Amino acid sequence: MINRIYRFLKGRYGIDELYRFMFYIYFILVVIDFFIDFYPLTIITFILLIIIIYRSLSKNISKRQKENQLYLNIKNKIKNNFYDVKKKYNYRKTKIYKKCPKCKKTLRLDLPSKRGINHVTCPNCKKKITMLVLRKQKVEVITNKKKKK
Ligand SMILES: [Zn+2]
């Protein structure tokens, strides 16, 4: 019997991060489904379970890895965006974030410096940017470091 199970599972894809994520969603849906009588949700939950099982038992490993990679990329993007927002919030009193009008890179401007009109140069494309500083802040342009992949 164990041998038969082993033979069945051999060469199958198994578990990855996407599997865990989908299982987590599945679990949430099951709980919601338990409390809410909404027929389409029951179907969606069931289809999700089928996909989870199908993926883990799939023999097309490269395709499943690609799906997993796609999921990880999206997840990282969301995570990075979240960190950016958090960072901007933490530095809201000492730094200014501004997008370069030419190269669209986000520039972090260090504070504090003189109030009024300031001229800064984008370190990336050397474009001169004029900016109005209302609070006392030092305007020094620093390009954001490239995000880790
Ligand atoms: Zn620029």
Q: What's the whole-number mean pLDDT along residues 33-51?
A: 93
The domain ranges of the chain are 2-89, 93-143
Q: 105 alpha carbon to ligand 1 midpoint, in Å?
A: 6
DSSP string, 33-90: HHH---HHHHHHHHHHHHHHHHHHH-S-HHHHHHHHHHHHHHHHHHHHHHHHHHHHHH
Distances, alpha carbon 115 to alpha carbons 10, 13, 135, 142, in Å: 69, 61, 6, 19
114 vs 136, residue with greater confidence: 114
Q: Give pLDDT tens digits for 49-62.
A: 999 999 999 999 99
Q: 100 alpha carbon to ligand 1 midpoint, in Å?
A: 5
Distance CA 50, CA 36 (A): 21
Contact 134, 112 (CB under 8 A): no
Q: 142 alpha carbon to ligand 1 midpoint, in Å?
A: 11
Q: 85 alpha carbon to ligand 1 midpoint, in Å?
A: 21
3-class DSSP assignment, residue 102: coil
Whether pLDDT at 68 is above 60: yes
Distance CA 8, CA 138 (A): 66
